[in-house]
Amino acid sequence: MRQVRSLAGYLTAQGVERGDRCVIFMDNTLVCAVSVYAVLSIGAVFVVVNPQTKQNKLAYILDDCGASALISDSHLHRVFTPLLKTAGRLKCVIASGDPSRLEATEVTPFEQALEGGVTELPPNGIQKDLAALIYTSGSTGDPKGVMHTHLSMTFALGSLIEYLRLSSEDRILLVLPLAFDYGLYQLLMSVQLGATLVMERSFTYPAVIFQRIREEKVTVFPGVPTIFSLLLSMYQREPFVFPSVTRVTNTAAALPAEHIPLLKKIFPNALIYKMYGLTECKRVCYLEPELIDVKPASVGKAIP
C-alpha cells in the first residue's frame, strides 16, 4: 500500500487527474499490480496493455485513449521510446527495471517515482466513473477499448467470488496476462478477498509453474484451452498430480468435453468450472461444476 500511495503521489505531482488514462505496458509483476491500484486510487483510468503488443498497436492505443501517463518496463524501451516524440498528451513516463537501459531522458525510473513518499489520496469518485479500458487484441482490425466502470467491476468481483466459492484462504495462480480481463480479475479478486496471488509472467515454462504450484500450495488454477491441452499432452507422457488445487476454471474458448476425465486425474480434489464471456468484458455465464459430467456441452447459467 505504501508503494501504491507513493506512485499515486508522483502521478498527481505530474498533473495526472481524475479520469485521465494511464497506459500500463508491463509484464505480470508486483510493479504492474502496484501501478493498477495507484492509478485507481487517484480516480484515473488504467489501461493494461500486453507486453507482447507491437509498436504500431501500442502507438494506436496511446493515441486512441488519449493517454496521460505511460508506465512500462525498461526492457521494453525499444518498443515505447520511439513513440514518446509523437505521444504529445503524455504528462509522464515511468519505467521499472534497470534504468541504464533507458535511452530517453524524459523517462523516470520507477524507484525514483516512489521517492516522494506517501501522499494523501484525493477524494473518491463515484461508482459510475470509468475505472478501466481493456483493449481487444486487434487481430481483425484496430484494437477497441471496452469501457468498465467501478460499479461494473465491483459487481463482477462479488459475483465471481460467490459462484467460485472463494475465500481469503485461497491461493490463486496467475499465468494469464493482466491485459486479458480473465487474468486481471485474478488480481482484483485476490485483493478484494485478501487472498494470496501467485503471479507468474506466463506459462512458457510449465516445469517452473508446476514447481510453484507445489511450493505455494496453489488452490485455484485458472486456465484456457491451450494451457489445458498442453497439460494433458505432458500428463500423457509422464503423469503428475496437483492435490492442493480445489478449483479449476476455464474461459476464452470452450473446454472440450474429452479433456475433463484427464483433468480430473491431474486435479483430483478440484471442482472444474466451464465459463463463457463476452469479448474483454469478463464472464457472463458458468456451468455448476457438479453438472460437468451431466451437461458437458452446456454453457450453464448467468452469473449471480
Print the domain residue range for 78. 2-125
Q: Does 69 lie in the same domain as 154?
A: no
Q: Classify residue 180: in a domain, yes or no.
A: yes
Over the chain (304 residues), the average pLDDT of each successive run of 10 is 91 94 96 96 95 94 95 94 86 91 83 80 81 84 89 94 97 94 95 96 91 97 94 95 97 88 97 85 88 90 94
Q: How far apart are CA 225 and CA 135, in angstroms?
A: 21
Same domain, 114 and 167: no
At residue 137, the pLDDT reads 76
Tell me, yes or no, whether 182 and 58 share the same domain: no
Same domain, 287 and 166: yes
Residues 162 and 288 in one domain: yes
Backbone angles phi, psi at 62, to 5 degrees: -55, -40
154 and 290 inside one domain: yes
Do both 154 and 202 map to the same domain? yes
247 within a domain of the structure (yes/no): yes
CATH number for 97: 3.40.50.980
pLDDT at 119: 65
Note whether residue 241 is domain-resident. yes
In a domain, 144, yes or no: no
Are both 103 and 232 inside the same structural domain? no
Task: Judge whether 136 lies within some domain.
Answer: no
- What's the structural domain count of the chain? 2
Q: Tell whether pTM > 0.85.
A: yes
Q: What is the model's pLDDT at position 281?
A: 66
Looking at the fold, whether 155 and 281 belong to one and the same domain comes out as yes
Last residue of a domain, one of 110, 125, 140: 125
Tell me the C-alpha distance between 157 and 194, whole Å. 13
Predicted local confidence at residue 104, as pLDDT = 67
Does one domain contain both 117 and 198?
no
In a shared domain, residues 198 and 246: yes
